[in-house]
Each structure stands twice: as C-alpha cells, then as structure tokens.
Amino acid sequence: MEAIKAAELNPKFRDEVAGLLKNYDFTNCLACGMCTAGCPYSDIHENQDPRKFLRKVLLGMKEEVFSDPYIWYCTMCERCTIECPMNVNIAALVRSLRGTWDKDKIPGYLQTIAEEHKESGNQMNVDQVDYEETLEWIEEELQEELGDPNYKIPLNKEGAQYFYGFNARDIKYYPNELQTTLKIFYAAGIDYTISTKRWDATNIALFTGQNDDFVEISKPVWEEFVRLGCKEFIVTECGHAFRSMRWGYRTFWDGKEFPIRHILELLNDLVKEGKLKLDPDAITEVVTYHDPCNTARKEGVWEAPRELIRSFVKNFVDMNPNGRMNYCCGAGGGGMAMPEFNDIRKAKGKRKVDQVVATGAEIVIVPCHNCIDQFNDLNKWYEEKAKSKNMHMCTLMERALIMPEKEEA
C-alpha cells in the first residue's frame, strides 16, 4: 500500500463535496466497512470498495477521487447505505461528484442521451410523427384484438384520473409492451390519458448528476400533468423512470402538488377492487420477481408487486435476499449506456444469475426496462440463466387476463 502524504491532501475538498450535497453530513463515517460488506460487488471486480472511496473523499484526496473508476463503476443502488450504521448515502455522494464532470468527458453515451432528450422530449430521440404514428398503429391493433372498432387511446384528455408516463423504448423498440398495458387499462375500465406533448418519464441525468439537464428534461413532463389537470401520475414498469419522477418531484418541483405512483401499485389495487380479473390457473410455470433498486430500495415499492403476483401465480419463489435487501442487476447507475464497462457489467450480473438459478424459476418478472435489457444480456452471457424467460409484469398478467363481457347493444 502506498503511503498517503499529508502535504498532498486537500482539506477543503470535504467542504466542496458537502456543498454539492447541500450540506448533507457524510463525514460521520466510522470506517467500519459495513458498506463494503453490504455491496454485492465488492469482491466481484477491482475498484468496487465504497469504504475506500469514501475515505479518499474524507481525507481530501481530490485527485485520487476523480481518477478512481469507482465513480462510474458504482451502480448507485444504495445497498451499502442500508448496511451503514451511520446511514451515509454513498450513492448520493457518487451522483454529486459525477455532476461536477465536464459534460463532454462523461463516459459512454450518457450525455448524448441527455442532449437528445432535451432536443426531442424523449430519451430515444423519437420524432413527433413517428410517435403519433406508433400510437395510431397500437390503436388499430387493439381495435382488432379487442373486437371494438370504436376503441380509442385517450390522448390529451383533460381532467383524467390518471396521467400515464412511460419509457421511450415502448415506442421505438417495444410497442407491443405498451399495447399490452393499454389492453389491461381497457379491461379495468380506468380513466386515464396519454399526452402527445410530453410522455417520457425517464431522465438519464439521474445517473450523470447534471441537475440542469435533469430539470430541463423532467420539468416539462410535470407541467404537462398540471396542464391537463389529471389527478395522479402513474409511471410505467421502469425503476429509472419511477425514481426520476418521484425523486425529481421531491427535489426540484415547486408547483402544484400531486401524487406519483408505480403502475404495479395501481394494478394491485385494481385486482383487489375486482376491476381486474386474473385466472389463477393460467400461469403454471415457476415464477420469481426481481426488485429494481430504484423501485424497491429507493422508493419503497416491493410489497404491492408480490401481493399482485400471488393473486394469480401459483408457483412463486422469491429470490434470497429480496425486497429492500435484494441485489442490483448490475446495470444500474447508467451502466447500460457505458459500453466501455461491459465487462464490469457482465461480472456484476453473475451475482443476479446465481440468485435466479437458485429459485428454479422458468419466468423472471423484471419490472424495469433498464433491468430487463441487462437480464436479456445475462441470458446471452450465462448458459444457466438462459433457461429462464424475462418479462414485464403486464406481459405475464395478459396471459391470465379475463376480459370483461361485452354489453349487448
């Protein structure tokens, strides 16, 4: 181990970081190592030790901090924080430090996504014509599937109960996923709307730490919700989108107050209220559930999804650990958008593969677009993982969905 020279330490660096964190006190670290013990990846690859990284910050080793790959290797999953006896939030520290980087030096294509989102209004850079044509295509498909030629996607409906914000991947790559969700909304008969102006709930600046980008991306979505006068903001199956909307709302929004809820919480309530009916005999496979860090650990949503699963899945086997204690899939913190670190992402993913294999699951419910891309990569990288199929909750629910009987004219 190299000697640390006191003359090279920057005693002001700790105050600089405290200023970035709005004077949040991260200095009460005991150096006990519980954060490193709690990190699922501290023994998977090099430069993944939260305790060492935090000590560098506290000692004023500014140059070493910004040259440490940990700053981008960290998935910001916060599992280290729940193990910390002093509740030091290392993920918040990492995000704040990332936010000091020059935007043209941010790794991968994280900043490219942010710039395109600011320009087009969505992270996939889908232009308005393609967006509206995709919605028209989904509408036509649903008219045929539902046997209802009068079916219309409720666009820009003022005063709707629910405003639905989703992931741009559902337009560019997975329109069938959006179609499935809207079919479930139809079966439940809920009052909702989709905006043609602002609809993408994701925000890549959640990972880059660039707060000016974050506000520019998310504020128009909150403003659109208020403009339409909806009652509740419902976010799709995407931990990144859900966290962006909820954390960003708490941190940056100073307008009219409104509730933001995850779609799985809504669907669970609809089942309990009898508005959605699911066949308990339709799913025969062994099923497990992945907790996205941004949904479960950071925003506290892990019980409602399991209640929903048990309402229609007979053979549900939970991962160990699960819920608040579950492991990150390995692609968090913007990992999917930094291909130069794919070997690190693959190594991290082995921990999740072992979790899944231990359940014997044939189906893994992955309620997050970012996570499901990682899970699909894990199926390619690890033969043992390829035996299980990954899908969103709504996709599995569709297999068990009992459509309401049509009223006779």
In tens, the pLDDT along 117-138 reads: 999 999 999 999 999 999 999 9
Confirm or reject CATH 4.10.240 for domain 278-401, answering yes or no: no
Quick one: the chain helix, strand, coil %, rounded to 5? 50, 10, 40
Give the strands of the sheet with 389-391, arranged side by side. Answer: 287-289, 363-365, 389-391
Give the pLDDT confidence score for residue 409 in this predicted structure.
41
- 235-258: per-residue pLDDT in tens? 999 999 999 999 999 999 999 999
Give the pLDDT confidence score for residue 9 in this predicted structure.
84
Query: Residue 357's CB: how many other CB atoms inside 10 A?
Result: 14
pLDDT above 80 (res 2): no
pLDDT above 70 (res 317): yes
Architecture, CATH, for domain 6-100: Orthogonal Bundle (1.10)
- Higher-pLDDT residue of 9 and 351 is 351
pLDDT band at residue 149, thresholds of 50, 70 and 90? very high
Give the pLDDT confidence score for residue 74 in this predicted structure.
98
Give the pLDDT confidence score for residue 13 in this predicted structure.
92
Domain ranges of the chain: 6-100, 110-271, 278-401
**409 class by beta-carbon count within 10 Å (0-12 exposed, 13-18 middle, 19+ buried):** exposed
Give the pLDDT confidence score for residue 318 in this predicted structure.
98
φ, ψ of residue 283 to 5 degrees: the values are -105, 115
- 35-93: per-residue pLDDT in tens? 999 999 999 999 999 999 999 999 999 999 999 999 999 999 999 999 999 999 999 99
Give the pLDDT confidence score for residue 26 in this predicted structure.
82
Give the pLDDT confidence score for residue 22 in this predicted structure.
83
- Higher-pLDDT residue of 395 and 3 is 395
| Helix and strand counts by DSSP (H, E) for the chain | 19, 9
Which residue, 286, 299, 307, is CA-closest to 364?
A: 286
DSSP letter assigned to residue 366:
-
Which residue, 394, 5, 4, is CA-closest to 188?
A: 394
Q: Read off the pTM.
A: 0.95
Give the pLDDT confidence score for residue 72 in this predicted structure.
98
How big is the chain by its Cα radius of gyration, in Å? Answer: 22
pLDDT band at residue 8, thresholds of 50, 70 and 90? confident
Query: Which stretch of DSSP H or E encloses residue 262?
Result: strand 260-262
